[in-house]
Structures are given as structure tokens and as C-alpha cells.
Amino acid sequence: MANLLLATDYGNRLIRSYGPIIADKRFEPAGFPMRLGRKDIGLALTAANGLKLPLTQMIAERMDTIIAADGGERDWSPLGQEGK
């Protein structure tokens, strides 16, 4: 999986950096802790000033679930894993 991402990333640093981490499920030590990502998502929701941002809200709720399960210091990359 990581090789596929690296071969097709079109020079995208984010995919090159996080692709192998996600594929190998290496979420600790955190490159960017979940709690800091949640803070940033909260700032985005506040700045939206009442606009509906359903994807952003869904990400915030997912982060809250992970943080509540002692995942605040884990990397943000497992967000897409169902039920983890």
C-alpha cells in the first residue's frame, strides 16, 4: 500500500510522509498530536461563523471519540480507521 501511494503521489509531501505511517499503522510517536489537530478544527468551525461544514464537523466528532479513548497524544493519521 505504501509503495502504491509513494509511486502515485505526484510529489505530494503529505502522502510521501504519512502514506507509510498509515499503511504500517505506526501512530506513535505522534508527528502531529490529535489534540492539536482538534484545536485547529475547532478554530475552523468557529471561523466558519455559523456556516454548515458537515465534513469538518464529522472530523471533529471523530477526533473527540479518539481523544476520549486516551488518543489525544496519538498521531492524527488514524482518523480514517473505522472504530479505532
CATH of the domain at 69: 1.10.1040.10
Contacts of 42 (CB under 8 A, 6+ apart): 60
- Give the pLDDT confidence of 34-78 residue by residue, as tens digits: 999 999 999 999 999 989 999 999 999 999 999 999 888 888 877
Positive or negative torsion for Cα 28, 62, 35, 11? positive
Mean pLDDT of 11-15: 65
The model's pTM is 0.68
Strand partners, 33: 75
Q: Say if CB 37 and CB 78 are below 8 A apart.
A: no
- What domain range includes position 64? 2-77
Structural domain contains residue 82: no
Is 84 within a domain?
no
Residue 15 lies in a domain: yes
Task: Tell me, yes or no, whether 33 lies in a domain.
Answer: yes
Residue 36 is assigned to a structural domain of this protein: yes
Number of structural domains found in the chain:
1
